[in-house]
Amino acid sequence: MIELDGVTFTYAGEATPALQQLDLRIGAGELWAVLGPTGAGKSTLCSLLAGFIPHFYRGSLRGKVRVAGIDVPGSSLGEMSEHVGSVFQNPFNQVTGARYTVREEIGFGLENLGVPRPAMLERIERSLALTGLSELAERSPYALSGGQQQRLAIASILALRPKLMILDEPTSQLDPAGTGQVFTLLRDLVSAGETTVVVAEQRLEWVARAADRCLVLQSGTKAAEGTPSDVLSSPEAEGWGLCQSRFSRAARAAVAQGVTPLGRQLPHTLDQAVEYFR
């Protein structure tokens, strides 16, 4: 689904590259989490995979970028958008402003794709139901709270049935229940073979619960890649500037105080922590 070879990108006017010599292979039907501190290149990678780089953000791009079978630099945003759906970090920037209700907002992309009306209505209702927005369907997008707008952004993309979904911190405005729903939904969609997901995320507990694979970025380069357990338990993980879960922080503190023996794999999910501290 995604092939990057030796990708280096520098934003126009910047001296240092935002991504450097990045190689990456992501297969169809996988859920990937992109981790790293602020400024590591997570959002840049999301923009690249969605085609905003190089078709919207200017700069110098080197290397090979193929997404959903498309050579990204040789393509256009229009072509990319038929296969790739992206949810921005700030949902307030995503509402089109061209429609009066949540239902119409979700239908906006489908109208542009020329989806026939009966199919369109069916897809809208499904998106509303999957994101828990059915009861708000007649509201104005602007009368929604931050968390509701974030779910609307996801619903609008879902309706397009993209082969690949790129989500840049999609739960930043959501309450814990909403965050859980989004990750459960993404996991279910991927497990059902409906799409491939790449999500930049800070909340490691959810990454450990939902992701198949993780990529860790540091200053635009790949610091690690692997299953969530392997990556998050790496001895180097502490230096990556990630938000550690309280489970792994408690385990580290317990080891430091000699309450728990050294050398066991650190817990990142509740189940792992129960096993660890039992």
- Distance, in Å, from the CA atom of 81 to the CA atom of 187, rounded to the nearest integer, reads 22
Using the minimum distance from each CB to another protein, give the nearer residue, 180 or 226.
180
Residue 145 amino acid letter? S
* Shortest Cβ 52–another protein spacing (Å): 16
Report the nearest approach of another protein to the CB of residue 194 (Å).
Answer: 26
Binder among 173, 195, 218, 233 for another protein (CB under 8 A): 173
Distance in Å from the first CA to the final CA of the chain: 41
- Scan residues 37-76 and list those touching another protein (CB under 8 A): 37-39
From 203, 218, 216, select the one nearest 172 (Cα to Cα).
Answer: 203
Name which of 44 and 195 has its Cβ closer to another protein. 44
Contact call for residue 18 and another protein (CB under 8 A): no
Binding mask 138-167 for another protein (x = CB under 8 A): -----x-xxxx-------------------
Site for another protein in 176-195 (CB under 8 A): 176-180
Which residue pairs, CB below 8 angstroms and at least 24 apart, start in 107-114?
107/159, 108/156, 109/156, 109/157, 109/159, 109/160, 110/159, 110/160, 113/82, 113/160
The site map against another protein for 221-250 (x = CB under 8 A) is -------------------xxxxxxxx-xx
Note the helical H segments in 60-116: 77-81, 102-113
Q: Is position 174 an interface residue for another protein (rule: CB under 8 A)? A: yes
# of chain residues touching another protein (CB under 8 A): 44
| Alpha-helical runs (H) found in 114-263 | 117-130, 146-158, 176-191, 204-210, 228-233, 246-256
Of 136, 164, 162, residue with least CA distance to 150: 136
**Can you give the binding site for another protein, defined by CB under 8 A?**
36-39, 89-90, 92, 143, 145-148, 169, 172-180, 202, 205, 240-247, 249-250, 253-254, 257, 259-260, 270, 273-274, 277-278
